[in-house]
Every structure is written in C-alpha cells, then in structure tokens.
Amino acid sequence: MAADEEDVRLDKFLASSDRLGSRKRVVTALERGKVFVNEVEVGLAEASRRLRAGDVVRVWMDRPGSARRRTGPFEIGQLQILFEDDLLIVVNKPAGLLSVPLPNGDRTPSVYTLLEDHLRGHRHRRRPFIVHRIDRDTSGLVLFAKTLRAQEALKDQFRRREPERVYMALVYGHPTPPSGTWRDVLVWDKTALIQRETHPADPRGKEAVAEYRVIESLEDTSLIEVRLHTGKRNQIRIQARLRGHTLVGEQRYIYGPADIRPIEFPRQALHAHRLTFQHPGDHRELRVEAPLPEDFLNLLKQLRRRV
C-alpha cells in the first residue's frame, strides 16, 4: 500500500471504488478467506486492522474452496438451480426448453438466455459458458461454467470421459439381458439431423458406448438407467432404438409400425438424473441429482396400474 494510506482500516482500504467497491463485498471476501496481508490470511475479525506503510494486501478472488454455494434448490423463472457457486451452475432443465439458443438468432427462451438474465446483476456481469447440453424435450441436469477457465477445465473432464452421467428412460419392451453395455459406431446425418448407425470402418463414424440396467419391468415397457461413457448427440435415443427398444414418446428414432407404440406421451421419456464431476476450483467431487419430473412420474403411475 502507498504511504498516504497508512493507518487506514483494512475494510475501508478494500472498499474503495478501485478495489472491491463496497463494504458488503469486503465482508464476503473476509468471510471466505480471500484476503491476505503480507501473505497471511486475515478474516472478518481483522476488518478494523490499521494498515502500515509497506503492507502488501492481496485478494485472491478465485481461491480454491472459497466459492459460494447456494444452499438448497431455488427457482429462477422456469429453471430450478440445484447448485451454484462462483465458478459453475447446475440446472434442472424442464422438458421443452432449449439448452442454448438456436443458431439463427431466434430468441426462443433457453437455459442460456435465462441464465444470462440471472447473472446480469453479478458484480462482474458474468455470462454463462455451456459445458454440455441435452435435447430440448429431455429433462434434467445441464452444467454451465461462469468463467472461460472453469469451462475449459470442465470440458476437459468430459473429453476424458471422467464425469458420471446417468439418465433414466422409459422404453418399449424388456431389454435382455437386464443389464449390459451398448456399443455402436454412429454418424451424424447433417441433412436429416439425426444419428445413424454406420460401419466400424467408416472414417466419419464415432464410437458410442453406454451401460444400461433395467430398474423396473412393466407390462409392455421398462424403466431403465443408462450411464453414458460417450456423449454423442441423441445417443441414448438411437442406441435404444437400434435394439428395438424405442423410448416412450419418441418421434424421431422409432422402430416398427405405430401400433406397437400405443402409449401417448408428448416427449421422449428421458431424464438426465445424476451428474458427478470434479469441481474446477478445488477439485472436490460434486454429485448432483435431479428427481424425475412430474410428467414422467405420472406416466410411470399410469403404467404401473396396468401391471
């Protein structure tokens, strides 16, 4: 600090407009262990400390472990936020809402645009950075970062296939055996905008791997859990279809005539249920779960009454 600021209180020094800018931000930084004087951490109890000429005051804004977690789920518009801190947000997306805006500039609401509004009031006017996405008519967990560095760290985890991504799906038929691994080579059809199965030697082909497990067998359907090892677009929908187990409500990846899919449901019965990954700040394991939404639960109740 400069000589002309000698004997100034620490909290007043930090609250100046060219530093943290407010008393509230100073209190938050001190509470979270982000403030150091001469390389020694200081807390709220030392807010009134008088500074000396030559003191070095440092604020470590993204100190690992200092990120703020919002306790419990809370709502912002159509979104339920299940976890939020200074580096990331995990959202429980309702079916029918886009993860990100359409590329043609259409302003149809999306998780991204709703989070933009949510973050607009933050001190640094942050914007969301997408880490992964799910289909419009799939419900459940979507992960966003608040900084480019956090986004890249999280995307690296997904590239290395480290996060656990677990979905719940309701499919026609009864997968046999009741648990196993789906392995396919898929290619994205840019004209039809769907995934197609292709030959393993196809240079355009991408490996798709998922583990499945039957949770509950019903009369003509099964509730299954699917754990993704790869994250190809529409992966669960096409891999289930390739084995004759079209998702209930599916409109694109269908198998056989319509009369073998008699159950009415306005979307594919697919829900991103659990996400486990490493926090990009302090590297602790985070595990977030989104319960099955009301429409999915009501469908299950109807089908259980038929058994």
Give the tens place of pLDDT for each residue, 197-219: 999 999 999 999 999 999 999 99
Domain shared by 34 and 118, yes or no: no
Asked if residue 89 lies in contact with residue 79, where contact means CB atoms within 8 angstroms, the answer is: no
Q: What CA–CA distances, in Å, run from 109 to 83, 114, 118?
A: 21, 7, 13
Number of structural domains in the chain: 2
Tell me which long-range contacts 15-23 makes (C-beta under 8 A, separation of at least 24).
Answer: 19/59, 20/59, 21/123
Domain shared by 145 and 25, yes or no: no
Query: How many C-alpha atoms does 121 have within 13 Å on its Cβ side?
Result: 3
Does 67 fall in a domain?
no
Domain shared by 44 and 96, yes or no: no
Does 65 fall in a domain?
no
Residue 53: per-residue pLDDT: 84
Domain shared by 255 and 211, yes or no: yes
**Which positions are annotated as active-site residues?**
135
Residue 71: per-residue pLDDT: 46
Distance CA 9, CA 15 (A): 10
Does 66 fall in a domain?
no
pLDDT digit string, tens, across residues 55-72? 889 898 766 655 555 545
Q: Find the mean pLDDT for residues 22-30.
A: 83
Lowest-pLDDT range of 70-74, 96-100, 171-175, 235-239: 70-74
Q: Name the band, by pLDDT with cuts 50, 70 and 90, for residue 77.
A: confident
Lowest-pLDDT range of 15-29, 58-72, 73-87, 110-124: 58-72
Contacts of 22 (CB under 8 A, 6+ apart): 15
Domain shared by 184 and 248, yes or no: yes
For residue 220, is pLDDT > 90? yes
Q: Find the mean pLDDT for residues 247-251.
A: 96
Domain shared by 172 and 249, yes or no: yes
Comparing 48 with 210, which gets the higher pLDDT? 210
Distance CA 200, CA 96 (A): 34
Does 44 fall in a domain?
yes
Distance CA 187, CA 87 (A): 34
Lowest-pLDDT range of 34-48, 65-79, 251-265, 269-283: 65-79
Q: Name the band, by pLDDT with cuts 50, 70 and 90, for residue 21.
A: confident
Residue 69: per-residue pLDDT: 52
- Domain at 11, CATH number: 3.10.290.10
Domain shared by 158 and 216, yes or no: yes
Does 46 fall in a domain?
yes
Domain shared by 112 and 19, yes or no: no
Q: Find the mean pLDDT for residues 236-261.
A: 91
How many other CB atoms sit within 10 Å of the CB of residue 261? 18
What's the residue count for the chain? 307
Asked if residue 59 lies in contact with residue 28, where contact means CB atoms within 8 angstroms, the answer is: no
Residue 68: per-residue pLDDT: 55
Q: Name the band, by pLDDT with cuts 50, 70 and 90, for residue 75.
A: confident
Q: Which of 281, 272, 303 shows the shortest CA–CA distance to 132?
A: 272
Domain shared by 95 and 241, yes or no: yes
Residue 3: per-residue pLDDT: 61
Does 68 fall in a domain?
no
Question: Looking at the DSSP assignment, which residues form a beta bridge with residue 97?
Answer: none
Give per-residue burial for 144-168: e unless 16+ CB within 10 Å, then b.
bbbbeebbebbbeebeeeebebbbb
Mean of per-residue pLDDT scores for the chain: 89
For residue 276, is pLDDT > 90? yes
Domain shared by 32 and 110, yes or no: no
Burial class (CB in 10 A: 0-12, 13-18, 19+), 26: buried
Q: Which of 15, 30, 59 marks a domain boundary?
A: 59
Domain shared by 99 and 52, yes or no: no
Contacts of 38 (CB under 8 A, 6+ apart): 55, 56
- Domain at 181, CATH number: 3.30.2350.10
Answer left, alpha or beta for residue 305, where phi above 0 means left and psi between -120 and 50 means alpha.
alpha
State the greatest distance between any 2 C-alpha atoms of the chain, in Å, as a whole number: 84
pLDDT-above-90 percentage for the chain: 62
> Which token pair is 123?
């001190």
pLDDT digit string, tens, across residues 131-185? 999 999 999 999 999 999 999 999 999 999 999 999 999 999 999 999 999 999 9
Residue 65: per-residue pLDDT: 55
Boundaries of domain holding 9: 3-59
Domain shared by 115 and 191, yes or no: yes
Q: Indicate the pTM of the whole model.
A: 0.76
Task: Tell me the torsion sign for CA atoms 86, 281, 99, 171.
Answer: negative
Residue 66: per-residue pLDDT: 54
